[in-house]
Chain A
Amino acid sequence: MEDSSTTHKNKKPSFFRRFKDQAFYQAMIWPSVILMILFNFIPMYGLIIAFKNYTVLDTIGGAPWVGFEYFQEFFKDPLFWTVMKNTFGIAFFKMLIGFPGAIMLAVLINEVANVHFKKFVQTISYLPHFLSWVILGGMVIMWLSDTGFLNSLLMDLKVISKPIEFMADPNKYWAIAVLSDFWKEVGWGTILYLASMTAIDPSLYEAAKIDGATKWQQIIHITIPGIRQMIALNLILSIGGLLGSNLDQTLVLQNSLNYASSEVLNSYVFKMGIKQGNFSYATAVGIFVSVVSLILIVLSRWGTRKISDKSVF
């Protein structure tokens, strides 16, 4: 609410005056801004080692410059295409299934009338999210082993005569990665949608009912448009995170045999940088990942403006 006495004065109040007026809000924002500078911006200085031949015995400033050598090496690396294919492929299918999956599950949960049953379903579907990949991956590996639960079941049902090598077959890795991720995260993904569904005005549903709209029509014309903003936001966030989300999972589910289809950008960086100590090289790959992610975010932001008339950020 603007006071009429301030609007008719054309002169803006001074910076310090305004700062003092906002002192309370400023006090809330500055600690986090400072933390961000300390931990997000200053360390970025270290990125220059991507252009230097850095070893742990050099200082960041003192290491010799090498230009774009590591980028060139990475692009020429025979593994480059494998890693890119796996990263984008797995991420694409995860989004293809996981993104609409969460929306559908949220709609379904929203339509459950019995409160206790609703809470029960929600709890069960959130549960895997709180288990780490180490535990969940261990379960997946056990279930899918030669003598595991799934093979025993299929054998006993006489569906197959010989155990299927799930974990040892590179052709099956993508499916395992995508489905296990779906199982883990789909419930958690519904929370934001469910929250924004409660904000939809109930009178809209009442009006629709009076007009004779079916449940299906209510979902399509009221629920989904009601959470449109949230869908757009989630889409942007998940596209931005496409290249960076599956390190834990990869490290747990990867083995000697599915390596060719399980190595992704992040596990590659981890291996080259942390495990083999090629810090400069790994940083160069890391910068490449960041640049691609940035491009994706900008593109998706531009795209979602078309779906929801307002920009999300």
Chain B
Amino acid sequence: MKMKKVLVALAAGLVCAMTLTACGNSNSSSNADSLPKARFTPNKKVPSWQKDTKHSASLTWYVNFDWYKRAGWGKDTVSAQIKKDMNIDVKFVAGNDDKLNTMMASGKLPDLVTFDRQLAVAQNAKKFALPLNTLSKKYDPYFLATAAKPQTVKWYTQPDGNLYTYPSFSTNEDDYKAGNVVADQVFIVRKDIYEKIGKPNMSTPEGFLKALQEAKKAVPKTDNGTALVPFASTALDIQNGGDGALGGTLQDFLRIPVTKDGKWYDRDADPEYLTWLDTFRQAYSEGLITNAQFADNDNTMKEKMTQGTYFAYLHSNTKGLNEFMADNNRRNPKQTYIAVDGPKNSKGQEPQFTGGSISGWTNTFITKNTKEPQKAMELLTYMASKYGTMVTTFGVKDKTYTMKDGQAVLTPDVEALRNKDAATYDKKQGMGSYWEVADDPYAISMGEKPATTISQMVEWASNKVAPRFEVENIDPTPGTALARNLTAINTDRVQTLVKVIKAGSKSEADKIWKDFLARRKNNNWDEIVKTRNEQVAKNIKKLK
């Protein structure tokens, strides 16, 4: 009897499950044909938002970063101006991958979504996003005609002829030519110590090690009594294959090419790279790099930076340093950090960094769920356009900025607040916080300057940038077996980097690294290289 009951229950369960699947399919099938009519005949010379001010709308915009918190629409200068211009309300919702996945699976998406372009779902945009070319044609031809950057549009247009997304911080060939790009990598030293030991040359392995030794001798302890750490670099994130500054960043400093003869180049196997890994190994064995390098996370390391703990620091994200440099400078203005020439290759060549990619950083989509496709399209046009970029970067003319010789200059009190209290500045002004489809190179050309604390660092790197569009998006598609192989290799790679630096001798370190290079084969390495080469070839073709 008991058995029978269990069987009945199971059968009932199965039946329920089968019927439930029908409910699971909730991806609404609103397509381009069923879009509501445009409220007026749009004109490609005038952005539609200027004519659409009578219609007020309220949109929800999901941004896939937990830290993206806005105080509320209209509460800061930038959003207040957009609200005034467009008669629109936008509610920003922040979240992480879990939340995004849940929303995608349930088919309940807000009007707009923004997430990192490397997420697997970006590959399937067709299933949840409305094509921007269709929307633009129907509601706002100004977007494709003027607001969007033509090279970026070409780059993002899919083989089916549709453009599903528009990126933030997309930088193209013209931007490089015009010099409107900044690099994000830097080698910084604590100025007081650097001057005390006679401003040594740190670009050769010998000079580098000697400078670290002298720094340790000159200032063994920091102001708060802890030992000075002569050298550190961006925190590692082993679980996610994050190599800090020990991988690509160091390779950029050594000017190791990303491609050779139209083929992807294995930078990890380059002898220049091995030389410097061995330099770091020697530094570790002499106590010039500490174990904290491998245990501390990004927050801990930046906190230590505000205490002047490090003499020299190799970093992969200059913009992220602003707040911490400001804290350090406030603590002791004599112990500021400055950018100097760091590791160079044996030929003594200048480093070469990327100044941004044509793919940009995030992707923004207008979803099929939106009830206000026209207003959503207008909002994208507004924010991607030159006018919108001025608003999101500098705020309101003659209120938060003035124009001088064609360059925008923030008013003195706004600039002062920006350097003194980054958090309040963000909350009250909101400049630089609505970057979802931002045209950064244009903002730079109009006078956007890095905060004073990091301006010297940005300046140092400014003449060392070159595009490398051919190696963008060349890794296997996320979610595939090959992508999992690559993740495994990257994790192994960072662990191996640590082992190399902690190795007892050069020969031991060399062996560990060579073993790793060979071990990649177990994870379909040859297949990955093949994919990369195919993508590089495709990119080169696309860029012509």
User: A-side interface residues toward B, CB under 8 Å?
Assistant: 33, 37, 41-42, 44-45, 55-57, 59-62, 69, 73, 77-79, 146, 165, 167-168, 254-257, 259-260, 271-272, 274-278, 281
Given A37-B9, A42-B13, A256-B294, A56 and B104 contact (CB-CB distance below 8 Å): yes
Given A42-B17, A256-B236, A256-B495, A275 and B97 contact (CB-CB distance below 8 Å): yes
B412 to chain A, nearest CB (A): 45
Q: With a CB–CB cut-off of 8 A, which chain B residues contact A77?
A: 484, 488
The reply to whether B494 and A45 contact each other, CB–CB distance below 8 Å, is no
Is B164 close to A, CB under 8 A? no
Contact of A78 among B236, B481, B522 (CB under 8 A): B522
Contact of A45 among B9, B20, B237, B491 (CB under 8 A): B20
The reply to whether A73 and B239 contact each other, CB–CB distance below 8 Å, is no
The reply to whether B484 and A73 contact each other, CB–CB distance below 8 Å, is yes
User: B-side interface residues toward A, CB under 8 Å?
Assistant: 9-10, 12-14, 16-18, 20-21, 24-25, 27, 97-98, 101, 104-105, 119-121, 124, 127-128, 236-240, 291-292, 294-295, 478-479, 481, 484, 487-488, 491, 494-495, 498, 522-523
The reply to whether B97 and A277 contact each other, CB–CB distance below 8 Å, is yes
Main secondary structure of the interface of B (DSSP, over half): helix
The reply to whether B105 and A56 contact each other, CB–CB distance below 8 Å, is yes
The reply to whether A256 and B498 contact each other, CB–CB distance below 8 Å, is yes
The 3 closest A-B pairs by CB, nearest first: A256-B238, A45-B17, A56-B104
The reply to whether B97 and A260 contact each other, CB–CB distance below 8 Å, is no
The reply to whether A277 and B101 contact each other, CB–CB distance below 8 Å, is yes
Contact of B295 among A62, A79, A167 (CB under 8 A): A167
What is the chain B residue whose CB lies nearest that of A73? B481
B500 to chain A, nearest CB (A): 13
The reply to whether A256 and B21 contact each other, CB–CB distance below 8 Å, is no
Given A37-B9, A73-B484, A59 and B25 contact (CB-CB distance below 8 Å): yes
The reply to whether A60 and B9 contact each other, CB–CB distance below 8 Å, is no
A138 to B200 CA separation, bound complex (whole angstroms): 41
A105 to chain B, nearest CB (A): 34
A276 to B484 CA separation, bound complex (whole angstroms): 9
What is the chain A residue whose CB lies nearest that of B238? A256
The reply to whether B237 and A256 contact each other, CB–CB distance below 8 Å, is yes
B290 to chain A, nearest CB (A): 8
Contact of A62 among B16, B25, B294, B498 (CB under 8 A): B25
Interface centre among B21, B294, B479, B488 (most CB of A within 10 A): B479
A-B contact pairs, 22 of them (CB 8 A): A33-B9, A37-B13, A41-B9, A56-B104, A59-B24, A59-B25, A62-B25, A73-B481, A78-B488, A78-B523, A168-B291, A168-B294, A168-B295, A256-B236, A256-B238, A256-B239, A256-B495, A257-B295, A259-B239, A260-B495, A274-B97, A281-B484
The reply to whether B121 and A61 contact each other, CB–CB distance below 8 Å, is no
Q: With a CB–CB cut-off of 8 A, which chain B residues contact A41?
A: 9-10, 13
The reply to whether A56 and B291 contact each other, CB–CB distance below 8 Å, is no
A91 to chain B, nearest CB (A): 21
The reply to whether B101 and A42 contact each other, CB–CB distance below 8 Å, is no
The reply to whether B21 and A60 contact each other, CB–CB distance below 8 Å, is yes
Contact of A55 among B17, B20, B121 (CB under 8 A): B121
Given A37-B13, A168-B294, A271 and B24 contact (CB-CB distance below 8 Å): no
The reply to whether A57 and B27 contact each other, CB–CB distance below 8 Å, is yes
Q: With a CB–CB cut-off of 8 A, which chain B residues contact A59?
A: 21, 24-25, 27
